[in-house]
Amino acid sequence: MNAPRDVVVTGIGATTPLGGDAASTWAAALAGESGARPFDNDWAEQYGIPVTFGATIKVKPEEVLARPEIKRMDPSTQYAIIATREAWADAGTPEVDGERLGAVVSSGIGGIWTTLEGWDTLRERGARRMLPMTVPMLMPNSPAAYVSLEIGAQAGAHALVSACASGAEAIGYGIEMIRSGRADVVVAGGTEATIHPMPIAAFAASRTLSLRNDDPQGASRPYDVDRDGFVIGEGAAVVVLESAEHAAARGARVYARLAGVGLSADAYHITSPDPEGKGQQSAMRRALEMAGATAADVVHINAHATSTKVGDLTETNSIRTLLGDEADHVLLSATKSMTGHLLGGAGALETVFTVKAVHERLAPPTINVANPDPELHVPLVRDVPAALPAGDVVAINNSFGFGGHNVALAVTNA
């Protein structure tokens, strides 16, 4: 068997609560802006939903896509297609044999708008009014399938589902496709469009959402003592992954390397993380091993940090346990403080942030931390970006999902 191949990032794309593309999203993140805003609906009055805000998409797909595309794609697929078009152009529209091109795009929840609107149609108007595109729109592989159609990816189209780790797991799978030689180029990422009253009510029922209705922009506050839950977000992010040889042969601009993937499962509880964080540590350890890196090399971590007390502290305790004293020089960023939680899109967006951080040597800030949790034992980047050191560096993006899924991606400089 041939040695595993190096994987680099040559394109990025996103549509998020902070901006309609990756550049505006990154600029807003560096500026410490919040993407949270009051909902423009009457769900509180109509259904008694206790949360009246979220991090809704900044640029509506209707402003970007053709009308027939809007009608035949669930919003989760629409976001993924917008991000893919940007990333593909950003990568210079690579010339690549379709048989060597892959698409891996995940959603945590799938086409829930289509699912629930189909149910509404059935109940209110009967089976004869059900639209024929309902199944291909609601299936959770729809974003991956449409992305494969968009770019002509024939090496494989995959949708790995692991709740809030889905976007990172998709990128991890894309890395494996290239490392193993199955593909030369892979478009990989995650998407989510669940700002619909049913999932909001369901998340509220699980008592995981912030109820800070009077201050939407201050609601997502990972590592602040007064955090009270996550802020639901929506959007998509994708990266163009490429074998280092392929990128070099076509003279592509390289942002960074995706040098390691670490996966694990807690097998502890369906929603709560293992308090000892063994699975989280395994994921980070495996990512560093694949990258050939040690604890001393790690300069930056984009934390999963959703703004829940148990989740936030379990992660930093895992980081401290794994890295030991080396955690003292890690710059920790919790970007969900600005973006809200994109669920299946989160791991992909935070990979884009981590890639940009390594490329520009700038760790994005964490906002809304008025009183840092005294149990936070890792240096936190607060309010303004922090410079990363020159030379060879390693950054980690952590993503964890309901179900005990742990994904760590190791990013190194090009």
Residues lying near other proteins in the complex (CB under 8 A) are found at 66-68, 71, 128-133, 136
What is the Cα–Cα distance from 93 to 57, expressed in whole angstroms? 26
What is the Cα–Cα distance from 9 to 191, expressed in whole angstroms? 19
Shortest distance in whole angstroms from residue 125 CB to other proteins: 8
Tell me whether residue 67 or residue 325 sits nearer to other proteins (CB atom).
67
Q: What angle do CA 101, 106, 107 make, to 5 degrees?
A: 155
Spatial contact of 334 and 386, defined as CB atoms under 8 Å apart: no
What is the Cα–Cα distance from 212 to 227, expressed in whole angstroms? 9
Selecting among 158, 164, 246, 300, the annotated active-site residue is 164
Tell me whether residue 74 or residue 242 sits nearer to other proteins (CB atom).
74
Q: Residues 87-121, buried b or exposed e (16+ Cβ, 10 A)? A: bbebbeebebeeebbbbbbbbbbbbbbbbebbeeb
Active site residue 329: no
Helix (H) or strand (E) holding 331: strand 331-333
Spatial contact of 92 and 178, defined as CB atoms under 8 Å apart: no
- Calculate helix-pair angle for 278-291, 309-323, nearest 10 degrees: 50
Closest by Cα among 110, 132, 111 to 121: 132
Tell me whether residue 123 or residue 128 sits nearer to other proteins (CB atom).
128
Active site residue 359: no
Shortest distance in whole angstroms from residue 116 CB to other proteins: 19
Beta partners for residue 363, in sequence order = 386
Shortest distance in whole angstroms from residue 135 CB to other proteins: 10
Selecting among 196, 300, 304, 359, the annotated active-site residue is 304
Selecting among 158, 300, 341, 359, the annotated active-site residue is 341
Spatial contact of 71 and 64, defined as CB atoms under 8 Å apart: no
Active site residue 341: yes
Tell me whether residue 31 or residue 70 sits nearer to other proteins (CB atom).
70
What is the Cα–Cα distance from 131 to 263, expressed in whole angstroms? 39
Shortest distance in whole angstroms from residue 113 CB to other proteins: 17
Could you give phi then psi for residue 355, rounded to 5 degrees?
Answer: -65, -45
Shortest distance in whole angstroms from residue 121 CB to other proteins: 10
Q: In this structure, what is the dihedral angle of CA atoms 363, 366, 370, 372, given to the nearest 10 degrees?
A: -80
Tell me whether residue 134 or residue 282 sits nearer to other proteins (CB atom).
134
Q: What is the amino acid identity at position 66? A: A
Tell me whether residue 131 or residue 387 sits nearer to other proteins (CB atom).
131
Query: What token pair was written down for 324?
Result: 């030991």
What is the Cα–Cα distance from 239 to 251, expressed in whole angstroms? 18
Shortest distance in whole angstroms from residue 67 CB to other proteins: 6
- Calculate helix-pair angle for 22-30, 75-90, nearest 10 degrees: 90
Closest by Cα among 387, 330, 337, 327 to 357: 387
Shortest distance in whole angstroms from residue 72 CB to other proteins: 8
Catalogue the active-site residues: 164, 304, 341
